[in-house]
Amino acid sequence: MIPAKQIIAQLDNPTEADRLLIEKAYEVAQKAHEGHKRYSGEPYMTHVASVAHHLAEMGMGPRTIAAGLLHDTIEDTEVTQEDVRKTFGDEILFLVEGVTKLSSVRYYGTDRHNESLRKLFVATSQDIRVLIIKLVDRLHNMETLSHVPEEKQQRIARETLEIYVPVAHRLGMGKIRKELEDLAFPYVLPSEYDKVQELIKSRAGKAEVTLEKERKGLQKKLADSDLLDFHTSSRVKGLYSLFHKLKRKDWNIDVIYDLLAIRVIVSNVDDCYKALGIVHDLWRPLPKRMKDYIAFPKPNGYQSIHTTVTTKSGNILEVQIRTQKMHHEAEYGIASHIIYKGKEHAKSSNSSWFANLAPSLFRPFAWREQRHTKTEITKEKPHYEKIPQWIGQIGDNYTKEKSTGQEFLDDMRKDFFHSRIFVFTPNGDVVDLPTGASPIDFAYAIHSEVGDHVSGARVNKKFVQLDTELKNGDIVEIETKKTAKPTTKWLDATKTTLAKRRIKASLSGENGKNI
């Protein structure tokens, strides 16, 4: 089990308070989960300690790490909200509750609602840190999925691919996305997984040796140039993303040019272009394969220069050139935008992380300057970051990466969450309703028969009036009675046309009968 010390060791210059906070959270979690076991038979604490360690490694701050340690306490142990509030304060309670709430967003195997689910997932989280904790939580659950009962594995793996992966992608978190994809792949598409494995085996052994030889050749060439600070590494394409590419290329692995890639990481943007010149001088570039994502970042903020080359020994491979900062962002995405290692809320009070992020998507050079200006930590009040609307478009750009910057800007402006809310059925299905909708709208959205016979409603387990306005994330239960039927009052208490139409029909039907 990862000890608290090892988690703290990941922080840059932690203060005494940071250290104490993490130790306290560790202690509380350990006591709370005492005797609980994972499916693997390991103490439950191994899970939360590993989540916290991963968060620390990503550069998240002490409060997020503490919330990572406590993320399963309210849901699974005797620890109450009040306990967390008293010991750790409102902000950490907010994060822990956010993660707890997210566990009710579940995937039930129908593709129809995936887009809503992704949006709901983001809307429910309310704070980007909640999403990050949840993604890291899921990563550890996927790493230990083999111990989970078989009937659960499918659902969890599918949910990972349908919900978590697109969210990670949209947040630019490349590392966790790739890991989640490759962990879920064999469970969701076992025969496809085997097929890809086999194809890659037929190539990879030899290819990796070749790749290493080529990397050294490039390394030497770069060392002979006047580049001061650089390093090179290589990577093999993730199996799941390879699978998608193979499908598009008729399963011909020979036309997949980025199966193997060499990465060149330099210290600044000028050096990226210098390095590109050196690469093209050493190896012949393939025409029209050069992509400058530094000048034109991908919608999720990804930056790098990609070029495909034929080496002197005739190998085709991709070279990816980026700065250290770009590399860090490609791996950790939004986490690297909002948090400087060890510092939470590293931003001035009037500029949201979103404002910091937005220019980076379109004006990389302005952004570069901005990144060098570290702002002070604001510690006065817990400041909850609001989710910007563009994250609500999660999934939109996942399949069509080619959308232009302008389209993307327009997407960002769409005020999605102002017009829709997402609520749950008691077993976790998601219902998408307009803002201001009531339990009656909800009942009609479930089924017209349910709507026609609503007799009562509970929201989050409490009885409410039928005209109560529902809020994002509410869990709604409807009680029905055969004798219950729509009244004219219901018309004022509903927002959806579906409900209004049914109510009117029912009212006029009644009238008809009475005459």
Q: Which stretch binds Mn ion (CB under 5 A): 52-60, 67-75, 162-170, 495-503?
A: 67-75
Q: Which SS3 state, helix, strand or coil, does residue 230 take?
A: strand
Cβ-based nearer residue to Mn ion, 99 or 466: 99
Give the nearest distance from C-beta 332 to Mn ion in angstroms: 20
Gap between the Cα atoms of 156 and 140, Å rounded: 12
What does residue 192 show for φ and ψ, rounded to 5 degrees?
A: -65, -40
Contacts of 504 (CB under 8 A, 6+ apart): 491
User: Which residues 132-171 are close enough to bind Mn ion by CB under 5 A?
Assistant: 137
Assess 97 for contact with Mn ion (CB under 5 A).
no
User: Which residues 400-439 are close enough to bind Mn ion by CB under 5 A?
Assistant: none
Cβ-based nearer residue to Mn ion, 127 or 137: 137
Give the nearest distance from C-beta 4 to Mn ion in angstroms: 18
Gap between the Cα atoms of 243 and 193, Å rounded: 8
Contacts of 330-333 with C-beta under 8 Å, sequence gap 24+, read: 330/172, 330/174, 330/175, 330/302, 330/303, 330/304, 331/173, 331/174, 331/175, 332/58, 332/59, 332/173, 332/175, 333/168, 333/171, 333/172, 333/173, 333/174, 333/300, 333/301
Cβ-based nearer residue to Mn ion, 137 or 329: 137
Catalytic residue among 23, 76, 192, 407: 76
Give the nearest distance from C-beta 449 to Mn ion in angstroms: 38
Q: Which stretch binds Mn ion (CB under 5 A): 129-137, 170-178, 296-304, 378-386?
A: 129-137
Q: What is the helix (H) or strand (E) element at residue 464, kind and residue range? A: strand 462-464
Give the nearest distance from C-beta 85 to Mn ion in angstroms: 20
What mask, x for binding Mn ion by CB under 5 A, covers residues 179 to 218?
----------------------------------------
Can you tell me which of 72, 91, 318, 441 binds Mn ion, judged by CB under 5 A? Answer: 72
Gap between the Cα atoms of 401 and 393, Å rounded: 13
Q: Where are the alpha helices (DSSP H) in 126-238?
A: 128-143, 150-159, 165-170, 174-188, 190-224
Cβ-based nearer residue to Mn ion, 137 or 162: 137
Cβ-based nearer residue to Mn ion, 69 or 321: 69
Gap between the Cα atoms of 267 and 325, Å rounded: 8
Structure tokens that stand for 107 in this block: 């995937």
Contacts of 282 (CB under 8 A, 6+ apart): 217, 218, 221
Gap between the Cα atoms of 478 and 446, Å rounded: 10
Give the nearest distance from C-beta 182 to Mn ion in angstroms: 20
Q: How many chain residues are in contact with Mn ion, going by CB under 5 A?
A: 2
Is 229 a catalytic site residue? no
What does residue 400 show for φ and ψ, rounded to 5 degrees?
A: -120, 80
Give the nearest distance from C-beta 319 to Mn ion in angstroms: 39
Catalytic residue among 23, 57, 75, 411: 75
Q: Which of 434, 421, 420, 437 is closest to 494 using CA atoms?
A: 437
Cβ-based nearer residue to Mn ion, 138 or 306: 138
Cβ-based nearer residue to Mn ion, 132 or 330: 132
Give the nearest distance from C-beta 44 to Mn ion in angstroms: 9
- Residue nearest Mn ion, CB atom distance: 137
Cβ-based nearer residue to Mn ion, 99 or 246: 99
Gap between the Cα atoms of 509 and 172, Å rounded: 54
The C-alpha angle 327, 302, 180, rounded to 5 degrees, equals: 80
Sheet holding 476-480, edge to edge: 462-464, 454-459, 476-480
Give the nearest distance from C-beta 47 to Mn ion in angstroms: 6
Is 271 a catalytic site residue? no
Q: Which stretch binds Mn ion (CB under 5 A): 69-77, 167-175, 342-350, 399-407?
A: 69-77
Q: Which stretch binds Mn ion (CB under 5 A): 68-76, 218-226, 486-494, 500-508?
A: 68-76
Q: Which stretch binds Mn ion (CB under 5 A): 131-139, 171-179, 208-216, 262-270?
A: 131-139
Q: Using CB under 5 A as the criterion, which residues of the chain lie in contact with Mn ion when the complex forms? A: 72, 137
Q: Which residues are catalytic?
A: 75-76
